[in-house]
Structure 1
Amino acid sequence: MSATARKTAPLPDDIRAMKGGTPIVSLTAYTTPMAQMMDAQCDFVLVGDSVGMVLHGLPSTLGVTMEMMVLHGLAVARGLTSAMMVIDMPFGSYEEGPAQAFRNAAHLMRETGAGAVKLEGGMAMGETIAFLVARGIPVMAHVGLTPQSVNTLGGYTVQGRGEAGAALLADAQAVSEAGAFAVVLEKVPQGLADEITGAVPIPTIGIGASPGCDGQILVVDDMLGLFTAFKAKFVKRYAEFGVTGEAAIAAYAEDVRTGRFPGSEHVFADQAP
């Protein structure tokens, strides 16, 4: 499904139908300008709760609120015309049970116009996913490293190695059977990610998983190199905006302090020409 071939954003069923075909392309976005930049290239754009760490300086995603997700969802929606928007359900907005999850998922979709929600968890979320899907809420699942569970997982570590692989495979199968239209696999060993991709009928979206997944997603700020002090193993830098940005700011500061900016071309004459 190429960006030039479609005139409207894909639906969750369109993403599901891409299983085993041309790899699905996705990035996170949190602002209108960034959404505009990626709209023509992505099949879906994720308004991730990673916004808490990327834009708000939080130490984890746990402090992200529904209000923050709505705010950034609205911003991203203004920048999209071709890509489907998926929005994360923040920590504490769905774990209590299916009814709570439906109220908050419906609120996110109603307020932002998102095409689907994403929530973390495997077998434990099966009932909730089925409840949402039965009531018209498309769900993208997320298993493996689930950042909202970082305190119980013991940090941002690879998930599913050794004997733990069977449980992670069962998680992926459970969310698929519950009705999720796709599943994100985060920080999963390549062999296990390939096994899961072959075992489930829905697309797998890898982030630190395998090139054999049905699609890939990255945090856009990581991919563009906006962070100069941190780079995860699974991130490929396609630019170094952080380095060039710091250099540009330093050049601006120098120009201001030495009187080189603003120059005559940047100011207005006393009389109109």
Structure 2
Amino acid sequence: MRFAIPPPVLTALRQLHAGGFEAYLVGGCVRDDLLGIEPHDYDIATSAAPEQIAAAFPDTRLLLAGIKHGTVTPLLDGMPVEITSFRRDGPYSDGRRPDHVSFSTRLSDDVARRDFTINALAWSEHTGLIDLVGGVEDCRNKLIRAVGDPDKRFGEDALRMLRALRFASVLGFTIEDCTAAAMARHAALLDHVSVERIAVEISGALQGTYVSAVGHHPQVLLSALPELLCAYPEHTAQNLLHAACVVQSLP
């Protein structure tokens, strides 16, 4: 990691390792560090089960709201450090969260359930960077690619389509062809996502430096913002690119 890791995060990694468990930084912090962007959020994934995570931090205040899904958050020097057990997700009947999860001791199981390859990287002091799905190459090529089957990823959680738009807008990446095609096929699933969740992702996407990228995915954009049909009834890519650029130019 090129940027300094906060001491409480290093403490958590080292305590888990001292207990005989694998523990890695995962997700956005590893991606951002690789891209030369200073991370602001740090997540840890571990081979320890939730009760083993808790036992690794005796005499430490623990936040347990996410323990059902494997997350234990110790407060270390006042900093909450989110630690989640490796897991396999069950079906997503509500299109948002898995109905149930099963915990695993294998990093590969945890990587397989993640949304995009650029978010499926892992790092520890003992192993360095681990890339099981081609995320490093996709970072180099500025591509957003679903992990595994994109139809399955978006069927599990339709909001991932808007996350893809946000990453494209913020990072200046292109959505890989098979991933983009699956987004177009499943755009209607956004009808079942709450307005609040859509608003958070759309707001981030429309504030990115490369916001014009969102106009290249009209089915997703129109499903998220059906109001655009009134302004752009023909909803051509050119019109939606214009709408995105207008938003970008606003003060």
TM-score (norm 1): 0.29
In terms of Rg, which structure is larger? Answer: 1
TM-score (norm 2): 0.30
Select the structure with the greater relative contact order (CA < 8 A; seq sep ≥ 6): 1
Which structure carries more helix by proportion?
2
